[in-house]
Chains A and B, each alone.
Chain A
Amino acid sequence: MRKASLLFVLLIILAALPGISLAQDSQTLVVASTGDPQTLSGLLANDGNSIGVTTFIFEPLVLGGENWGDSIEPALAESWSVSDDGLEYTFNLRQDVTWHDGTPFTAADVLFTFQAVLEESNAIDWRSNLMQDGVPFGFEVVDDHTFKVILNEPDATVLTSVGIPIVPAHAFSSLNVVDVPFNTNPIGTGPYRFAEWNTGENVVLEANESYWRGAPNIDRLVVRFVDGAENQANALLAGELDFARIDGADLSPFENNPDFTIVRTPRDLMRYVGFNVLSPNVSDPAVRQALMTGLDRQAIINTVAAGNGLLADSLFNRSVFVYEEGRNPQVAYDPAAAAQMLADAGWTDSDGNGFLDKDGQEFTMKVAYLGSWALMQAIAPLVYDNFRALGVNVELVPLDQAAANEQIYNNTAVEKPYDAMLGGWGLFGPEPDHYRNYLANETSFFAYANPEVVALFQEGRSTTDLDARRAIYEQIDSLLWSDLPFIPIFQPIGVYVFRSDLNLDEAQVNGTFLTGLKFPALAAFTN
């Protein structure tokens, strides 16, 4: 009797641990993420943890938009054509695509997605993508597999603007996509279908056997939450992760270790010190230039990223199509020159207290950042010390997530409660217009809306001639470089570490986990 019950208990334990028995299956890949996604809906995902999951589940019509890689490539639309006047884009949708629940994918889904994005109450980030001067694009469902986008005036950014993850119309009862069960139980067309979300632990995805490009090689993808590069490094060593990006962690256990492969590849991200350009102390571009000259950006790269970073020479990321290394004159670290520039701008230490002042006002600078973001935490002491060395009375203000959302990220007031902020952003893709919301918008982080820049962004969007566009954005690039609403510090080089028996090369690593999903890379995973 006792033996029998013991056996029974054992059986229960075994049954309760399917993850463990499956984890030994060679077809499971465990990748790292830093924490729970905010949502599993591709439409709402705008943080790394969410996008890291939704990128496997959803697909857009065309790759190359924000979060969708560096180049324009067909996805759910297999081809497209533009009318002669440039006002009509006709997308031919793939006919062999089904949703994860078996329903065929049609143009009605595209229409629903775009309408939901335009619905103001949903407050979806992509909304401005589908509008021109406040007027929404027109849409037309020609037939089940043909979809038309109709513009009011020519727009060069349509192909990347429509890079929005498509959701199935039949899964929603109305245009409200915010408070719906779909957001924790998503249905997409991507190579992986959602299986389970164990809060605080992982999200499990299963291969979509009927994926239009062919079934993925890996049966199960476990996105496991391990916060912090160092913890991820430890988890890799302990065999709890198969693949993680651990730049910033101590790499010595992986170097010259045959069990692990290290791949370094630049990421479409920027780390920066943003200014509240309306704050009196930093409202003068000359002061902002002086601060950039006095900031040892290379030291920041060496300290917080172990040298894995590209010193920025543009406010645009390198993936933007107009980027050209060396077009803007690089700013070298020179504290003496910086001090002189500040003196020229009228800031001197007239009362001898060690801090600069001008017209009786001390140069104080409140630097806000998300304190729980380890990278910002790491950058902060260097910014503090560099600026203090110039005579700026810096106060670091680490904020928790809620306060950071309120004061920085979701703060649409023009008046900001900080003089400067530390941040990082990216995955804008090749289209410079995607920066418009931040660099020509007085409600964004920097309260920056230089009329000249605003006008140029406007012009750049409606210009379809590529050379003319290039000229416009080069002009914007130069203007921003002297105006400096933010000091671009560096673009990180991702340090990916994974089990050597995964046999990945740089392009695969880059394509898969850097900027959303590129299926061929994932299919190449072999165990």
Chain B
Amino acid sequence: MTAVKLPAVAPAGLELKQERFRVWRAFKRHRLALVSAILLIIFCAIAIFADRIAPFDPNATNAALAGGKPQPPSAEHWLGTDAYGRDYLSRTLVAIRISLVVGLTAVVFQVVIGVGTGLLAGYFGGRTDNILMRITDTFLAVPGFMLLLMVAGILGGTLPALILAIGALTWMTVARLVRAEVLSLKQREFVTAAQCMGSSHWRIMGVYMLPNLVSIIVVAATLSVPAAILTESALSFLGLGVPPPNASLGNMLSDAQQWIRSAWWIWVVPGVTISLIVLAFNFVGDGLRDALDPRTRS
């Protein structure tokens, strides 16, 4: 039998370090995940410094240069320009930032709501569980994207509204995962011990259970980021996302529609960027899951 998972409060410093080292070793073995992680770090750096590394103002037009048609990549504009003469590289860099900000913060919302719901439902059980899980089912039953379109339509296309909407409509899976894990944790000796010592419910949930949930939360969150990014892109593509003239990968793709025949870089650049970000998050998520899941430990 593999080692029983150590209660997070118990390990001494050395054991914790060993545990981390072991996860890192397992993750490292997943080559694709490693490459993806490096890629993600690069994307994050781009997002943070987008303003400073962008060679041009991403919203500055240059109609004389463009003449109404996207201009191909050149020495000055490495990824060409769009039909307004706006530097495509600069727009892409800024769009990466918007995509990542939306993806990551939406997932934070999603995790907060999902973990809260799952933890309460799983720990208290009974009526609380019933009510919270029925609410979760209700949200799951509603066609999410339709609801999102409605919410985006009502709130208008501001960034915070978009983030809130995506977060508020995608937390259900996390809630279910967390609840299932809490149900099993509840039966464990260290929880019983804590209860016997008279710890409060909140202390048991917060101090004893939450650290044991970190691995599944991290994996679920990592795998949700690409979904959130794609949702933002889809909304922007439909004109309900990031408001113009600001660039997002979705609205860049949307604008690219009319140039599909004549200007490849106009759709290849945002398309490839979006695919890379989404794939990278997925691979990192897979890698983390394999590394953190005790059942796949060798």
- Chain A residues with CB under 8 Å of chain B are 228-230, 248-250, 252-253, 296, 299-300, 302-307, 371-372, 377, 380-382, 384-386, 388-389, 396-398, 400
Give 8 A-B contacts (CB < 8 Å), ordered by A residue: A248-B258, A252-B261, A299-B61, A302-B67, A303-B61, A306-B68, A389-B60, A398-B243
**Bound complex: CA A148 to CA B273 (Å):** 70
- Given that A381-B84, A400-B153 are contacting pairs, would A296 and B68 also be in contact in the complex, using a CB cutoff of 8 Å? no
Task: Give the distance to chain A from B149, nearest Cβ to Cβ, in Å.
Answer: 11
Q: A253-B261, A398-B243 are in contact. Are A302 and B59 (CB under 8 A)?
A: no
Minimum C-beta distance from B247 to chain A (A)? 10
The distance in angstroms between the C-alpha atoms of A372 and B244, with both chains bound, is 12
* A398-B157 in contact (CB<8A): yes
Known: A307-B68, A398-B243, A400-B153. A381 touches B61 (CB 8 A): yes
Pairwise interchain contact B239-A303, C-beta atoms closer than 8 A: no
B257 in the interface (beta carbon within 8 A): yes
Q: How far is the CA of A296 from the CA of B85 in the complex (A)?
A: 13
Q: Which one, B60, B157, B257, contacts A230 given CB within 8 A?
A: B257
B13 at the interface (CB under 8 A from A): no
Q: Is the CB of B63 within 8 A of A250?
A: no
Cα separation A17 to B60 with both chains bound (whole Å):
51
In angstroms, how far is the closest chain A Cβ from the Cβ of B166?
19
Docked-complex contact A382 and B61, CB < 8 angstroms: yes
B63 and A296 contacting across the interface, CB-CB below 8 Å:
yes
Majority DSSP secondary structure for residues of B touching A? loop
Nearest-neighbour CB distance to chain A for B128, whole angstroms, equals 40
**Looking at the complex, which one of B239, B245, B259, B262 makes contact with A381 (CB distance below 8 Å)?**
B245
Residues of A within 8 A of B261 (CB): 250, 252-253
On chain B, the residues within 8 Å of A249 by CB distance are 258
Contacts A303-B83, A371-B239, A385-B59 hold; do A396 and B258 have CB atoms under 8 A apart? Answer: no
In this complex, what residue of B is CB-closest to A333?
B63
B10 within 8 A of A: no
A398/B68 in contact, CB under 8 A: no
B37 within 8 A of A: no
Q: Let me know if B258 and A385 touch, CB within 8 A.
A: no
> Known contacts being A250-B258, A303-B83, A377-B239, is A384 close to B245, with CB within 8 Å?
yes
Give the distance in Å from the alpha carbon of A305 to the alpha carbon of B243 in the complex.
22
Q: Which residues of B contact A386 (CB under 8 A)?
A: 61
Q: Is the CB of B59 within 8 A of A381?
A: yes
B66 at the interface (CB under 8 A from A): yes
Alpha-carbon gap, A133 to B140, bound state (A): 60
A380-B245 contact given A299-B64, A302-B67, A303-B66, CB 8 Å threshold: yes
For residue A296, which residues in chain B have a CB less than 8 angstroms away from its CB?
63
Question: Given the complex, which residues of B lie within 8 Å of A398, measured CB to CB?
Answer: 157, 239, 243-244
Contact: B84 with A303, CB < 8 Å? yes
Bound-state Cα–Cα, A385 to B86, Å: 10
CA distance A397 to B84 in the complex (A): 19
Contact mask for chain B residues 60-84; partner A; CB cutoff 8 A; 1 contact, 0 none = 1101101110000000000000011
Which B residues are CB-close (under 8 A) to A305? 68
Select one of A229, A299, A371 contacting B63, CB under 8 A. Answer: A299
Expressed in whole angstroms, the Cα–Cα distance for A249 and B83 within the complex equals: 12
Residues of B within 8 A of A384 (CB): 59, 244-245
Please measure, in the bound complex, the distance between the C-alpha atom of A377 and the C-alpha atom of B238, giving whole angstroms.
12
- Chain B contacts of A381 at CB under 8 A? 59, 61, 84, 86, 244-245
Q: How large is the interface on B (under 10, 10 to 19, 20 to 34, 35 or more residues)?
A: 20 to 34
A307 to B66, alpha carbons, bound, how many Å? 12
Q: Which residue of B lies closest to A248 (CB)?
A: B258
Q: Is the CB of A302 within 8 A of B239?
A: no
- Chain B's closest residue to A253 (CB) is B261
Contacts of B257 in A (CB 8 A): 228, 230
Q: Give A230 to B259 CA distance when docked, in angstroms.
A: 9
Report chain A residues within 8 Å CB of B245: 380-381, 384-385, 396
Q: Within B242-258, which residues are at the interface with A (CB < 8 Å)?
A: 243-245, 257-258
Chain A residue with Cβ nearest B254: A377
* 10 interchain residue pairs of minimum CB distance: A299-B63, A230-B258, A381-B245, A385-B61, A302-B68, A303-B68, A384-B245, A306-B68, A396-B244, A250-B262
Bound-state CA distance A249–B260 (Å) is: 11
Distance (Å) between the CB of A122 and the closest chain B CB?
Answer: 30
In the assembled complex, the Cα of A372 lies from the Cα of B258 at a distance in Å of: 16
Evaluate contact between B239 and A250: CB separation under 8 angstroms. Answer: no
Within 8 A of A (CB), among B33-78: 59-61, 63-64, 66-68
CB distance from A517 to the nearest CB of B (A): 30
Docked pose: A389 CA to B243 CA in angstroms: 19
Q: In the complex the two chains form, is B243's CB within 8 Å of A396's CB?
A: yes
Partner of A380, one of B64, B66, B68, B244: B244
Report whether A229 and B68 are in contact in the complex, using a CB–CB cutoff of 8 Å.
no
Query: In the assembled complex, which residues on chain A have CB atoms less than 8 Å from the CB atom of B244?
Result: 377, 380-381, 384, 396, 398
Chain A residue with Cβ nearest B85: A303
| B63 adjacent to A303 (CB under 8 Å) | yes
Contact A382 B153, beta carbon cutoff 8 Å: no
Is the beta-carbon distance between A372 and B59 smaller than 8 angstroms? no
Chain A residues with CB under 8 Å of B64's CB are 299
Chain B nearest CB from A391 CB (Å) reads 14
Chain B nearest CB, measured from A407 CB (Å): 12
Q: Are A229 and B243 in contact (CB under 8 A)?
A: no
Determine the distance from Cα of A152 to Cα of B84 in the docked complex, in whole angstroms.
54
A296 to chain B: closest residue by CB? B63
Collect the chain A residues with CB atoms within 8 Å of residue B67's CB: 302
In the complex the two chains form, what is the Cα distance from A361 to B145 in whole Å?
42
Inter-chain CA distance A380–B157, complex, in Å, is 16
Contacting residues, chain A, for B243 (C-beta < 8 A): 396-398
**Closest B residue to A372 using CB positions:** B239
CB distance from A230 to the nearest CB of B (A): 4
Q: Select from chain B the residue with minimum beta-carbon distance to A300.
A: B63
Closest chain-A Cβ to B170's Cβ sits at a distance in Å of 23
Nearest Cβ on chain A to B224's Cβ, whole angstroms: 28
CA distance A218 to B133 in the complex (A): 62
A479 smallest CB distance to B (angstroms): 31
Q: How far is the CB of A247 from chain B (nearest CB, A)?
A: 12
Considering the complex, give the chain B residue whose CB is closest to the CB of A403: B156
